[in-house]
Amino acid sequence: MATATSVQRKAPRPRADALRNRERIVAAAREMFVELGADVPLDEIARRAGVGNATVYRNFPDRDALQREVVCSVMDRVSRQAEQVLAESGDAFEALSRFVHASADERIGALCPMMSETFDRHHPDLLASRNQLESLVEGFMERAREAGQLRPDVAFGDLMVAIGQLTRPLPGTACLNIDRFVHRHLQLFLDGLRAPARSELPGTAATLEDLRQA
């Protein structure tokens, strides 16, 4: 007979196939959100993921839950890639560059419009992923400044605004393969971040607080 001091049973781990299905749903959702926007039918996401509708709703009870998982997975993935570069090279500017290009691969700019007024931006999972990413990138920038690699008059907000603008689909360009230009233009942007600065920037740097207020 169990007593009060008995060890509680741990919740069973999800089966491997269940985890694979969840990953396929998130990957398919990210692709379709980028291609078609946040209002793409969940049935279409299930079809692309190769799972049934019930599997989607079993993992994600509503659209917000799926959108949140997509955003968190993207932020976590680009964070890991940048951390790996820093661990391998010790070069903060190289890690910063990897973050920028990885963000383009994930089409972060195309996902930004998904963050509508109805989206819960204060959910604990979302806040944890965002805080980790912000802390990581600001750390890269500070180390790069100290090493004399990054011009001192730019801030986190400048970086994120540029990434968002350069990775967002342009209106009227559906017939143009714009993706093949994105990394080229991001590299031009990164070269402009290097110290010593070639020019004086107008205005003031966009900070993390500026982004949050916006």
Q: Using only the alpha carbons of the chain, give its radius of gyration.
A: 20
CA dist 184 and 188 (Å) reads 6
**Fold equal for 16-61 and 63-213:** no
Residue 45 and residue 32 in contact, taking contact as beta carbons nearer than 8 Å: yes
What are the backbone dihedrals phi and psi of residue 136, each rounded to the nearest 5 degrees, phi first? -65, -50
Angle at 79 between CA 41 and CA 195, to 5 degrees: 125
Distance, C-alpha 27 to centroid of its chain: 13
One-letter amino acid for residue 79 of the chain = S
Span between the terminal Cα atoms of the chain, in Å: 58
Examine the pLDDT at 143 and tell me if it is beyond 60: yes
Query: Which pLDDT band, with edges at 50, 70 and 90, does 116 fall under?
Result: low
Of 187, 165, 34, 160, residue with least CA distance to 98: 187
CA dist 140 and 90 (Å) reads 10
Q: What is the largest CA-CA distance in the chain?
A: 77
pLDDT of residue 35: 84
CA distances from 193 to 30, 32, 182 (A): 29, 32, 17
* Summary mean pLDDT of the chain: 84
pLDDT of residue 81: 87
Query: From 3.40.190.10, 1.10.357.10, 1.10.1380.10, 1.20.1300.10, which CATH number describes the 63-213 domain?
Result: 1.10.357.10
Residue ranges with strand state E in 68-196: none
The per-residue pLDDT for range 34-88, each reduced to its tens digit, is: 888 888 999 999 999 999 999 999 999 999 899 999 999 998 998 888 888 889 9
CATH 1.10.10.60 fits 16-61, yes or no: yes
Residue 210 and residue 157 in contact, taking contact as beta carbons nearer than 8 Å: yes
pLDDT of residue 10: 53
pLDDT of residue 126: 87
Q: How large is the average pLDDT for residues 136-154?
A: 94
Of 25, 37, 110, residue with least CA distance to 66: 25
Q: How large is the average pLDDT for residues 141-152?
A: 96
Burial, 152: exposed, middle or buried (Cβ in 10 Å; 0-12, 13-18, 19+)? exposed
Domain boundaries, the chain: 16-61, 63-213
